[in-house]
Every structure is written in structure tokens, then in C-alpha cells.
């Protein structure tokens, strides 16, 4: 791969624009897409994510090295797995029955494991899901800042985990690698670090305490 990885963010609601903005600031070429016409988000993208390019989802994905899924989980079924085949996919989604409704397939276990099963041709890691969008932006700090916080990345493919750990580092977080998607359950709602914005030692302690059965 030459030059910085190209990032496509699917989802332009709350989380997507923040992830896109952080990635632009970190020097990544970034495209952002919804399920619809990029013209519909052209103005808002120019205003709130300057430097990012609104595109049709299929075009954004086709050109990307890294695809971030920042869409509600109940809309995930509309994504064509073939579109994402061969891509490194960051699953930033959470199963949230209050807004997703009850999704039987996601009632038990790890949501990213289920996402990965459907995206069998992609390499899926779980990241960017466990910090609220406001905080994700407000708490981002350059490496070495005394108040820098940690963010987790979980996956079964070590190279993919390393690539996204690097992305987390570049956008402002100390990455914590979890070596399986199963361990990514620690990052999801109900897990010890979900919704908490922790320093590296706090994060590692929280994860270690509950890791027993997962890692
Ligand atoms: N909110 C947070 O603080 C936060 C933080 C981290 C992670 N997350 C997770 O990120 C996901 C999105 O949350 P949100 O709060 O950002 O949701 P949201 O505000 O409802 O935004 C959803 C976005 O996804 C787009 N979308 C839906 N289906 C799509 C598709 N097939 N292809 C491309 N874009 C599509 C929607 O646009 P159209 O409807 O126009 O297609 C909309 O722009 C959730 O799973 C959530 O758990 C949220």
C-alpha cells in the first residue's frame, strides 16, 4: 500500500462525521457516504467535515483501504457484503435495542462476530464504538499528552488490528489491542469500557478484570 490508507466512512449521522473529521485531521484521505445521494450531504460535509469527500457508498468503498461502518445496526442488513469484500472493515456499530429494536440475531454474544460472519469476504475489526461521539472528538490528544485516553481495537487478524491500532493512535488515542473479535465483547454495551473514557492504565485494568473468559 502506498501513501496513507484511504478511509471510507459509511454513516453521516452522529458518529460518522466525528470519525471522518478525526481521520481528515490525522492526514487520511476520507470519503463519507450515506445510503443515498452524496449531493444531499455535500453542503454539510463542506461545513462540518472540511476535507472529506461525499460520495456514493459504493464508490467510497471501492476506493477505500479501510471502511468504517458507522450506521445503526438495524440498517446493516441493507449493506451488500460483496461491496465490502476484500476490505478492512471497522465495525463501529453497537447493538442498542432501544433504538435498533430487538434484533434476534444480535441478542446473544458479540455483535462484531455476527457482523464478521455476514462479511465473510472482509477483514472485520471492532473499534470506535465504545466512546460517545462528543467525547471521541473532545478527548482526542496527540501522542504523549498527559491526559491522553485509550481506545480499544479487537480482531482475529493481527495485521488488521495493528493497522487500526495505528489509526487510533494517529487520531488521538492510546490503542489497546484485543486479539480476537470475541474479546471485542469487552468493548460493547454492557462491557467494562463502554461509555467510559479511560486512560491507558485504567482501560487495561478494566479489561483485564473481565477478560478471563474472553481472551
Ligand atoms: N452516537 C454515538 O455517540 C456513537 C459513538 C460510537 C459508535 N456509535 C455507533 O455508530 C452507529 C451509528 O450511530 P449514530 O448515532 O451515528 O447514528 P445516526 O445518527 O442515526 O446516523 C446514522 C447514519 O447512517 C446512515 N446510513 C444508514 N444506512 C446506511 C447505509 N446502508 N449505508 C450508508 N449509510 C447509511 C444514515 O444516513 P441515511 O439514513 O440517509 O442513509 C445516517 O447518516 C450505531 O451503531 C452506534 O451504536 C455511535
Calpha distance 154→170 (Å, rounded): 17
Cα(19) to centroid(ligand 1), Å? 11
Q: What pLDDT shows up at residue 215?
A: 54
CB under 8 Å to 182, separation ≥6 — which residues? 110, 113, 214
Q: Is the CB of 15 under 6 A from ligand 1?
A: yes
Calpha distance 171→189 (Å, rounded): 23
Among 72, 99, 168, 189, the mutation site with the greatest number of ligand 1 atoms within 8 A of its Cβ is 72
| CB 31, CB 7: distance < 8 Å | yes
Model pLDDT for residues 35-92, shown as the tens digit of each residue: 999 999 999 999 999 999 999 999 999 999 999 999 999 999 999 999 999 999 999 9
Q: Is the CB of 72 under 6 A from ligand 1?
A: yes
Cα(165) to centroid(ligand 1), Å? 22
Q: Is the CB of 71 under 6 A from ligand 1?
A: yes
Q: Is the CB of 151 under 6 A from ligand 1?
A: no
Q: Is the CB of 11 under 6 A from ligand 1?
A: yes
| CB 30, CB 51: distance < 8 Å | yes
What does pLDDT average to in each consecutive run of 10 residues of the chain (215 residues)? 85 98 98 98 97 98 98 97 98 96 94 98 98 98 96 98 98 98 97 96 92 64
Domains of the chain plus CATH, in order, are 7-214 (3.40.50.720)
Q: What pLDDT shows up at residue 213?
A: 58
Cα(213) to centroid(ligand 1), Å? 31
DSSP secondary structure letters along 27-85: T--EEEE-SS-GGGGHHHHHHHSTT-EE--HHHHHHH-SEEEE-S-GGGGGGS-HHHHT
Residue located nearest, by CA, to atom 7 of ligand 1: 129
Read off the pTM. Answer: 0.97
Quick one: what percent of the chain has pLDDT higher than 70?
Answer: 97
Calpha distance 183→207 (Å, rounded): 9
Q: What pLDDT shows up at residue 137?
A: 97
Cα(89) to centroid(ligand 1), Å? 15
Q: Is the CB of 12 under 6 A from ligand 1?
A: yes
Amino acid at each position: 500500500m502506498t501513501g496513507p490508507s484511504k478511509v471510507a466512512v459509511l454513516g453521516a449521522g452522529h458518529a460518522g462525521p466525528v470519525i471522518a473529521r478525526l481521520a481528515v485531521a490525522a492526514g487520511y484521505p476520507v470519503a463519507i457516504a450515506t445510503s443515498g445521494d452524496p449531493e444531499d450531504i455535500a453542503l454539510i460535509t463542506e461545513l462540518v467535515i472540511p476535507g472529506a469527500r461525499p460520495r456514493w457508498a459504493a464508490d467510497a468503498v471501492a476506493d477505500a483501504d479501510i471502511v468504517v461502518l458507522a450506521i445503526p445496526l438495524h440498517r446493516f442488513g441493507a449493506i451488500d457484503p460483496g461491496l465490502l469484500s476484500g476490505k478492512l472493515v471497522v465495525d463501529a456499530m453497537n447493538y442498542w435495542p432501544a433504538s435498533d429494536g430487538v434484533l434476534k440475531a444480535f441478542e446473544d454474544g458479540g455483535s462484531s462476530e455476527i457482523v464478521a460472519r455476514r462479511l465473510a469476504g472482509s477483514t472485520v475489526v471492532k473499534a470506535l464504538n465504545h466512546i460517545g461521539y462528543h467525547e471521541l472528538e473532545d478527548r482526542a490528544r496527540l501522542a504523549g499528552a498527559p491526559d491522553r485516553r485509550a481506545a480499544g481495537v479487537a480482531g482475529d487478524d493481527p495485521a488488521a488490528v495493528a493497522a487500526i491500532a495505528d489509526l487510533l493512535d494517529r487520531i488521538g488515542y492510546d490503542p489497546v489491542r484485543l486479539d480476537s473479535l470475541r474479546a471485542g465483547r469487552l468493548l460493547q454495551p454492557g462491557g467494562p469500557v463502554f461509555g467510559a473514557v479511560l486512560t491507558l492504565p485504567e482501560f487495561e485494568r478494566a479489561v483485564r478484570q473481565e477478560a478471563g473468559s474472553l481472551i
